[in-house]
Amino acid sequence: MPNRRPPKRKPPRRPPNPRKMNEIIINHLKDWAAETAPIFYKDAVFIPNRSCILTDEDCAFFAAYIQNATPMEREALQATDLRTTLETWGFPDEISEGLVTVLKNAYKTALKESTPKKRKKRVY
């Protein structure tokens, strides 16, 4: 019987970095809020900024919420869920739908960008 090598085991896949994911999602939410505020408050006397729509606490809350949600909850998230999640959310459905879309896209982007890349084997 020939001497056989044991099968090579694949190294475990490293999970995404949660701190980096959090940072990416918050940056996406802040960018969206900065773009949306002047459109939503176009007739306002004051100069709107992103904190008129999302505060830093809201961004951190949504980042944690989307990361801790199960995949089914994440896909089923709708604009009406924002009213139950945030009781103080008083914006119209257009902004809510935009936020849900940005939240889902930000999560997907953060998942891709924060997952460690495979290292190439060195050839000697």
Lowest mean pLDDT among 1-15, 79-93, 102-116: 1-15
Of the candidates 40, 101, 38, 44, the one whose C-alpha atom is nearest the C-alpha of residue 74 is 101
Domain spans of the chain, in order of start: 56-114
Q: What's the pLDDT score for residue 1?
A: 56
pLDDT at position 9 over 80 = no
How does DSSP assign 73-115, residue by residue? HHHH--THHHHHH-TT----HHHHHHHHHHHHHHHHHHHHHHS
pTM over 0.85: no
More confident of the two residues 67 and 2:
67
Please state, in angstroms and rounded to a whole number, the distance separating the CA atoms of residues 119 and 103: 30
Of the candidates 109, 100, 113, 111, the one whose C-alpha atom is nearest the C-alpha of residue 74 is 100
Q: What's the pLDDT score for residue 103?
A: 92
Cα dihedral sign, 33-91-97-86: positive
3-state secondary structure of 124: coil
| pLDDT tens-digit map of 61-90 | 889 989 998 888 888 888 877 777 777 777
Decide: residue 8, CB within 10 A, 0-12 exposed, 13-18 middle, 19+ buried.
exposed
